[in-house]
Amino acid sequence: MAARTFTFRIERYDPDADGMPRTVDYDLEAGEGTTVLEALLRVQSEQDGSLAFRYACRGAVCGSCAMLINGDVALACRTQVHGLGTDVVTVGPVPNLPVIRDLVVDLGPFFEKDESVRPWLVPSGPDPERERLVKPDEWGEAEPYTNCILCASCYGACPVPARDPDYLGPAALAKHYRFLADPRDGADEDRLALVAGEHGVAACDVVWRCVRVCPKGVTPTKGILATRERLGEGEK
Amino acid sequence: MSEHTHHEILIVGGGLSGLRAAVAAHDAGRDVAVMSKVYPIRSHSGAAQGGVNASLGNHPEGEDDTWQRHAFDTIKGSDYLADQPRAEVLAREAPERVLEMEHWGAYFSRFEDGRIAQRPFGGAGFPRTCFAADRTGHHLLHTMWQQCLKRGIRFYHEWQLTDIAVDDGRTCGVVALHLPTGQLGEFGASVVILAGGGHGRIYSSTTNAYINTGSVTAAAYFAGARLEDMEFVQFHPTTLYGTNILISEGVRGEGGLLYNRDGRRFMGDYAPSVMELAPRDIVARAIRTEVLEGRGFEGEYVHLDIRHLGAETITTRLPGIRQIAMDFAGVDPIETPIPVQPGQHYSMGGVSSDENGQTDVEGLLAVGECSCVSVHGANRLGGNSLLETLVFGKRAGDRAVELLEDRGPSSGRSALARTILERSNAIEELIARDGGERQGAVRREMQELMTEHVGVYREKESLGRAVRGLLDLRERYESVRVDGMVRPLNYDLVDTLELGGMLELAYVTALGALHRTECRGSHWRTDHPGRDDANWMKHTMATLGPDGMPVVSYEDVIVTDYEPTERKY
């Protein structure tokens, strides 16, 4: 397998020392199959122990390592260095969230928005003794939305938060739709009210960027459009 | 600078065990908080794939299933090292805990009639494993997190436990490092529940996340708790060749077949009656034997073939596995077999605790993979670890509430103050160190030693090399240096702190393996063939001695209804 030298152009920022983020180049030889996460870990252990970034599972299930790689938001653990097609690889933090240091952003605002849509099941009736029966074809639209790992890739790729910081964003609205579409949930009216304001589904630009970057095949834009339709029905 | 907070019950670890304990304590009206070094949904529970066992009897071939059969399978699977009454608790409470997750909104795969689907798993007499495609852990973890949000449970995100404070034999809180600021904090608590997960990263080839360093287990050991059965390490038979990312047992449950280089379905030579669905230790040894005897591919792996299942089954039942194989090995299992090899997967050993989480230290409970109850004994059955988090998470939460009622609050402010001062001084000393090597080299050598010498097959001379090598690494650790003076998010500092604990856990593991002169479950000594019930129906216990070295002792396995017999499949 051919190993090649890549230049990792990494955005560094230390709020205590730097007025503005700066970029630092690290050259690294990377074999076929090397992921961006592995490359960053090698930079950290071989060249600069002060480089900060989040990671955990390295298998694209925990959602820790979303970042901006060559201009696109992606999970570093599932992005192959050789697959990027460039010798210089630019790496920066997820956009639309405040940077704590280097590639680590403050996820507080992101999680607050998730929480604001009341992301838990409100059952339509008392719990039965056994499981609620849901035939495989009755999940309808809900199932794909349950696969969201809250990595914030979609939030970073969305054009809206830059001009409307209060916009709930694609992840929270997808989570909202996950419960709206769940056949076991009985709180549709209350749920719809949560996203009916100007920072809710109405604020979406419908440019499908969230759908394009989602590492789990979730389709927030579709859920947002379906929610808009439900809201429209309510107005009649 | 530090901050001081106090809660009646503090839980360390935000995976399924910790969150389930938090829900139990909260629902009893108690003041509970959860501290985790990562956001709870990043926890490794979310990486569990194949499912969770409960004798629901939903499967057409499993209608006669009972919790007693589940308990028996668990005990037999443990190679009779499990404490039998505790394995019974696990199996008996399984249906209620799993159904509760459904009531709380977890997505589960369903049979046509709408009931929760179940699939066959290794070592189980009936199809008993409930699942949500091949992302069961993800769905359970997110559902549990949602239940915590609903209840408004207090969380301390990205706080790394450094020490458990003990005052006159009683737990009085913890000291932790706030990663985003680099500041130490004191957390007073009357009861502390440890739920820190496993320590697979003491090995180089592991399915575990980078975060599975056993930092919580090590802190318990340093605080005086005993470690139990650390030599029992589960090697999952099917991890992706190269990265060792988990390839679920569910793949074989759905009908996946194992082939060697000669195209032979070799499991017939090892477990003729159940073939690919033998327990994990047996399949892992079979694959290692095939590779060692020259019948593997590239001298490293075998093939896991699911092409015959067809695209429809693969995309609905195993979508995550397909994605992993494509992302990380460049193969689409619809068209090409998956290259797999055994890798470290689960720590059967851990902080010694009973069926309510109680450890040897008053006010200190442990639950989940960081604990050793022991229900898994020498080999855990697939689908029993997610179950363990639910059953014992709730029980530990309930027990913590009882402890509060029985004994009232602990104070221990001075012990906490002393603990934080000592930790603060140790960190300053570490940062001020000149020269010395970086922690990364020591860590890599430890991981390679463990993989090479304390793996699937073990033997005296090789284990001795591991023990001596680890002693040497412990010495080198004393002079490693930390990079960078930056305090916020100084991962080099965190890695260095964690490595100290990892070396202790690795040492206790290797030592226990060297002492145990028999084959039992995952512990296979080529120089001591056969299980030795006359001498080894015993748990290994390790305590930190006054000289800083572990003191090893033994305790009898609790045997009630199930006499140990030869374990055949």
A112 burial via Cβ count (<10 Å: 0-12, 13-18, 19+)? exposed
Would you tell me which CATH number, out of the four given (3.40.50.720, 3.40.50.1370, 3.40.50.2300, 3.10.20.30), belongs to the domain A4-105?
3.10.20.30
B538 burial via Cβ count (<10 Å: 0-12, 13-18, 19+)? middle
CA B239 – CA B199 distance, rounded (Å): 17
- Judged by a CB distance cut-off of 8 A, whether residue A208 touches chain B is no
pLDDT in tens, A34-49: 999 999 999 998 888 8
**Do the Cβ atoms of A60 and B39 come within 8 Å?**
no
Pairing verdict, β B183-194 and B227-228: unpaired
Instruction: Note whether B375 and B518 are within 8 A (CB).
Output: no
What residues are paired with B403 via a beta bridge?
Answer: none
SS3 B3: strand
pLDDT in tens, B526-551: 999 999 999 999 999 999 999 999 99
pTM of the model: 0.97
Pairing verdict, β B2-12 and B183-194: parallel
Q: Residue B83 pLDDT > 90, yes or no?
A: yes
Average pLDDT over residues B459-482: 96
Average pLDDT over residues A152-161: 98
Which residues 101-120 of A are in CB contact (within 8 Å) with B? 101-102, 104, 107, 111, 115, 118-120
pLDDT in tens, A125-152: 999 999 999 999 998 789 999 999 999 9
Within 8 A of B246 by CB-CB distance, chain A residues are 59
CA B510 – CA B505 distance, rounded (Å): 9
Angstroms from B231 CA to nearest CA on chain A:
24
Which residues 37-96 of A are in CB contact (within 8 Å) with B? 44-46, 48-52, 54-64, 78
CA A70 – CA A82 distance, rounded (Å): 13
Instruction: Please identify which of the residues B97, B135, B280, B525 carries the catalytic annotation.
Output: B280
Chain B residue with minimum CA distance to A115: B149
Chain B residue with minimum CA distance to A38: B243
Angstroms from A107 CA to nearest CA on chain B:
10
Q: Two tokens at B267? A: 């499991």
pLDDT in tens, B275-294: 999 999 999 999 999 999 99
Angstroms from B283 CA to nearest CA on chain A:
23
Average pLDDT over residues A192-209: 97
Q: Among positive and negative, which fits the CA dihedral B53, B57, B60, B62?
A: positive
Q: Residue A235's pLDDT is what? A: 57
Q: Residue A167 pLDDT > 70, yes or no?
A: yes
DSSP annotation of B41: G
Q: Residue B1's pLDDT is what? A: 39
Chain A residue with minimum CA distance to B143: A120
**Do the Cβ atoms of A49 and B112 come within 8 Å?**
no
Angstroms from B328 CA to nearest CA on chain A:
7
Percent of chain A whose predicted confidence (pLDDT) is above 70: 98
- B510: pLDDT confidence band, cut at 50, 70 and 90? very high
Q: Which of A139, A61, A114 is nearest to B137 (CA)?
A: A61
For chain B, counts of helices (H) and of strands (E): 16, 21
Domains A4-105 and A108-231 share a fold: no
Q: Residue B409 pLDDT > 60, yes or no?
A: yes
Q: Residue B22's pLDDT is what? A: 98
Q: Residue A19 pLDDT > 90, yes or no?
A: no
**Do the Cβ atoms of A62 and B488 come within 8 Å?**
no
**CATH fold group of domain A108-231:** Fumarate Reductase Iron-sulfur Protein; Chain B, domain 2 (1.10.1060)
Which run of H or E residues covers position B23?
helix B16-27
Q: Residue B89's pLDDT is what? A: 98
Q: Residue A166's pLDDT is what? A: 97
Non-local (6+) Cβ contacts of B98 within 8 A are B52, B54, B56, B116, B130, B387, B390
Closest partner residue to B41 (CB to CB) among A63, A135, A136 is A63
Within 8 A of B39 by CB-CB distance, chain A residues are 64, 107, 111
pLDDT in tens, B1-40: 345 799 999 999 999 999 999 999 999 999 999 999 999 9
Whether B69 is catalytic is no
Average pLDDT over residues A212-233: 96
Mean pLDDT of chain B: 95
Angstroms from B110 CA to nearest CA on chain A:
6
CA A97 – CA B177 distance, rounded (Å): 23
Domain regions of chain A by residue span: 4-105, 108-231
- A234: pLDDT confidence band, cut at 50, 70 and 90? low
Mean pLDDT of chain A: 95
Within 8 A of A132 by CB-CB distance, chain B residues are 102-103
CA B480 – CA B476 distance, rounded (Å): 7
pLDDT in tens, A98-135: 999 999 999 999 999 999 999 999 999 999 999 999 99
Q: Which of B109, B99, B19, B7 is nearest to B54 (CA)?
A: B99
Q: What are phi and psi of B552, to 5 degrees?
A: -100, 135
Three-class secondary structure assignment of B167-234: ECCEEEEEEEEECCCCEEEEEEEEEEEECCCCCHHHCCCECCCCCCCCHHHHHHHHCCCCEECCCCEE
Give the DSSP letter string of chain A.
Answer: ---EEEEEEEEE--TTT-SS-EEEEEEEEE-TT-BHHHHHHHIIIII-TT-----S-SSSSS---EEEETTEEEEGGG-BSGGG--SEEEEEPPTTS-EEETTEE--HHHHHHHHHT--S--BSSPPPSSPPP--GGGSTTHHHHTT-----HHHHH-SSTTT-TT--HHHHHHHHHHHHS-TTB--HHHHHHHT-STTTGGG-----HHHHH-TT---HHHHHHHHHHHHHHHH-
Mutate to test the interface with B, among A102, A117, A146 (most CBs of B within 10 A): A146
Q: Residue A90's pLDDT is what? A: 98
- B406: pLDDT confidence band, cut at 50, 70 and 90? confident
Pairing verdict, β A99-101 and A88-92: unpaired
CA A81 – CA B557 distance, rounded (Å): 51
Distances (CA, A) of B101 to B95, B143, B188, B400: 10, 7, 31, 22
Q: Residue B407 pLDDT > 60, yes or no?
A: yes
Q: Residue B434's pLDDT is what? A: 84
Average pLDDT over residues B130-157: 97
Q: Residue A79 pLDDT > 70, yes or no?
A: yes
A-B contacts (CB, under 8 Å): 150
Within 8 A of B116 by CB-CB distance, chain A residues are 131
Q: Kindly provide the ipTM of the predicted complex, given to two decimals.
A: 0.97
